[in-house]
Amino acid sequence: MTDVDLKGKRPLSPHLQIYRPMLTMTMSIVHRITGAALYFGTVLLAYWLIALASGPEAFETAQAIFGSWIGRLVLFGYTWALLHHMLGGFRHFIWDFGLGFGEQEREWLARLTLIGGLVLTALVWIIAYSVL
């Protein structure tokens, strides 16, 4: 057979229209998105630190931005992205040891990552507001 004859008989690669969406697939996508969000959140953290070093006026401006409702919403999202991404990293670390690859184990690890990120974010913000 020539190469031209084989083209019509090759199997198609799997794609999103074939795969059934699963929690582990969604968590993988969210892990990548939170990784990208952490990059931009770290830029905001650097801005805040530069404003702190630049003097009282610059710091007051940064505090006004981050203290507004939208600023706090962004900080809340950054906190969640940080904690969710960290827990996703722990999940991958467990997989590096060859553990947690069973169907139920994968699902439980994905659920723990999702729920743990939300719970830890709420705890961090509750503690932060109680200290203030």
Binding-site residue numbers for heme are: 85
Name the residue type at position 122: A
Binding-site residue numbers are: 85
**Dihedral sign computed on CA atoms, order 56, 57, 62, 64:** positive
The CA distance from 104 to 28, in Å, is 16
The CA distance from 107 to 130, in Å, is 34
SS3 81: helix
